[in-house]
Amino acid sequence: MGLAGRIASAALESPLTPLAGLVALLLGIFAVVTTPREEEPQIDVTVVDVLVPFPGAAVHDVESLVTVPAEQVLSQMAGIEHVYSVSRPGAAMDGDRLQNRASVMALAPRGAAAFASCIATAGCEAAGTRRQSCRETAGTRSLL
């Protein structure tokens, strides 16, 4: 019989095994009873994910017209620790890891404006419109 067999046989023959099981059960019940529960716990969310739909666009178009410009804009904003993106047919997903919760509140308006600018520019470029007239039509200053 090997080491595992000897340990199993000692546990089966020992009168302390049921006592150890009972102690483990009581500790589990104690943990469940004493662990505090909140209906809405305060959790710091320091990651923001943004899905940008671009219906009918190929992956290359989504990457070059939405993902790369958005990454460039967002990586220059103060408060963003790391930017990661995924491009797929018809959509881009951008994720940003922020330094702290205050960064989420401070960056929300600027991030939304940056994405709006990228999307407007991408839509105009996909339609073949000149870049300058596209910015004027979109009514937004390019952040690229």
The residue ranges of every structural domain in the chain are 3-34, 47-138
- Closest alpha carbon to 52 in 78, 77, 71: 71
| Torsion of Cα atoms, 37 then 40 then 46 then 49, to 10° | 130
Q: What percent of the chain has pLDDT over 90?
A: 24
Residue owning tokens 């967002």? 74
92-141 tens-digit pLDDT: 887 777 776 655 556 656 556 655 665 555 555 554 443 443 333 333 33
Over residues 71-80, the pLDDT tens digits come to 887 777 777 7
- pTM of the entire predicted model: 0.48
Query: What integer is the mean pLDDT of 36-45?
Result: 79
Instruction: Give pLDDT, residue 136.
Output: 37
Q: Is the distance from CB of 96 to CB of 74 less than 8 angstroms?
A: yes
- Give the strands of the sheet with 47-53, arranged side by side: 47-53, 91-98, 80-88
- The chain-wide mean pLDDT, for the chain, equals 75
How far is it, in rounded angstroms, from Cα 117 to Cα 105?
20
Query: CA-CA-CA-CA torsion for 131, 137, 142, 144, nearest 10 degrees?
Result: -40
47-138, superfamily in CATH?
A: Ribosomal protein S6/Translation elongation factor EF1B (3.30.70.60)
